[in-house]
Amino acid sequence: MPEKASSGRCSPGLFLFCSTLLGAGLLIYSQTGAFAWDEGFHLLAAKLVTIGRRPYLDFVHAQAPLNAYWNAMLMRLFGESWRPIHAIDALLATGAVAIAAAFVRSRFLTVEMGSSNEVVALDDPRLRGWGAALVIAVFVLAGLNVDYVTFGPIAQAYPFALFMIVSAFFLTVRSVAEESTWLAALAGLLSGLAAESTLLVAIVAPVLLIWIVIYSSRERRIARATAFMGGVAIAFLPLLLLFAQSPRQVVFGVLQYHMFYRRSEWAGATQHDLELLTSWIASPQALILASLAIAGGWFVAKKSGWDRARRGEFYLAGWIALALCLYLSTPHPTFVQYFLFPVPFLAIMASVGLFGIAQQWSAGWPVGRRVPLWPVAAVCAIIALGLARELYNNRDDFSWPGMEEVARKVNQVTPAGAPVYLDEMTYFLTGRVPPPGNEYESSHKLALAPEFARYVHIVPQDEFDRRIASGEFATIESCDEEDWYKDRMLDQLYRHKAEINDCYVFWDRVPKP
């Protein structure tokens, strides 16, 4: 026992320390710098749900519905503020990384190595200290990833879906290892909930199902696959209830909008996609994560000496990462934040890659000589420095505290109940309900047949411009470029203007002659 205690396996105390440290960092950032412009739409949608309005049926909602209901539940519990939602999301993002690290700790560090001379058991003195190092590597590679920190602790669907898909992965592996049908059903439920919060992770459930079919024992294969699919079906009941009430509106919001209208009025969408999909070449973090993950796949397949079942568990992490990367390249346009979903799974494979590199590095060394841990330290340092540099460069970007200043100004100059034209997040922060059709700013660019546009609650920008010119709104606020308000001659329509944190507030309408 004393010999095993010094073998470098990650102790519960160290694991808890890493989880706490990451959670504290994400929690602090969630309350200070975490901000994404699209959060406004998600939070406003949740606000509308709290007052009894239904996505698709009562307002346009170009997303899967579950995140709006999740945020609405948090608002009912903790109040209509972005802060508690960010705090919960920071914990969910932390939990996803912790589960990935727990998988490495439980499945990799305790594995019985094969008989091949190419692999030495972790209790070998040459590899002491690697157990803890690899778990730390998962926390650093995933938890300090720039996109993970930037978009993990925010009110969009990313943290919820991340936690669900990593949990579903962990439960899927356990369901096969423990011959458990109910764990397969739970994995299906969680992967279904993730897809119902954002279709960006819809590919995960089919990958898990295929893996269950391949790696389950023949006599339990059908039962376990059926249980998994049953869990997925239960997860989609809320969406099916909305669909039963108005199929056409739900199909438009969930599918049609993304298939046919996402690139409306964006002539450079294709160029944007090409530049984004090749941007990883200039990212040290992305290069390190991808290279180590590839090395991990090579080690599992060629050098591990593990049995089929053990290799299959790591293959599953690799399959999910690969499937997500390919799938997330298909939305048009796509965005860099989408690619945070593969990060925990790439980190799992990258930790194996570090171990495989250590194996090759130590080949032929005298027994008893320790393998240096500088590769792990160097990788962790590069990842941490990359994150610090990115956060420093973004220190002057928009923030929620900054937007609260804008909202206070709007409420200061606008009578209660007066009609206003605002950005989505300003509607949320001011506590004001938008006029019908202004719940989702991006929908204004769509050119639909008038009857269908009314049916799906879309008002084109031309109509809002007409209302602005006619003096319908007591106050107008926008964080768009200056050209937006200059094109609408707001300086001539309103007596007063304030510029706050790169946003503009216009009030006190000039009387019509």
Residue 373 pLDDT: 66
* 3-state SS class at 167: helix
Cβ-defined contacts of 307-311 (< 8 Å, 24+): 307/114, 309/176, 309/177, 309/215, 310/107, 310/111
Strand partners, 504: 478, 499
3-state secondary structure of 341: coil
Residue ranges of the chain with per-residue pLDDT less than 50: 1-8, 110-127, 367-368
The pTM score is 0.91
Directed axis angle between helix 181-197 and helix 158-177, to 10°?
Answer: 160
Which of these, 400, 345, 334, lies nearest to 145 by C-alpha position?
345
Sort residue 509 into left (φ over 0), alpha (ψ -120 to 50) or beta.
Answer: beta
pLDDT at 111: 43
Report cis status (omega within 30 of 0) of the bond before 333.
yes
How many whole angstroms separate alpha carbon 316 and alpha carbon 101? Answer: 15
What pLDDT score was predicted for residue 346?
Answer: 97
230, exposed or middle or buried, with CB in 10 Å at 0-12, 13-18, 19+?
middle
Residue with tokens 């669900």: 164
pLDDT at 153: 96
Q: What is the pLDDT of residues 399-416, one digit of tens each?
A: 999 999 999 999 999 999
Return the number of other C-beta atoms located less than 10 Å from residue 271's C-beta: 10
Compute the chain's Rg from CA coordinates. Answer: 25
Based on DSSP, count helices (H) and strands (E) in the chain, helices before strands: 24, 4
What one-character DSSP code corresponds to residue 509? E
Domain boundaries, the chain: 2-393, 400-509
Instruction: Calculate the CA dihedral of residues 479, 483, 484, 486 and round it to 10 degrees.
Output: 110
* C-alpha dist (Å) from residue 114 to 296, 306, 448, 504: 17, 5, 63, 66
Going from the C-alpha of 11 to that of each of 1, 109, 111, 140, 442, the distances in angstroms are 14, 11, 16, 17, 49
Place of tokens 């007409």: 466
| Unique residue bearing structure tokens 């593969």 | 342
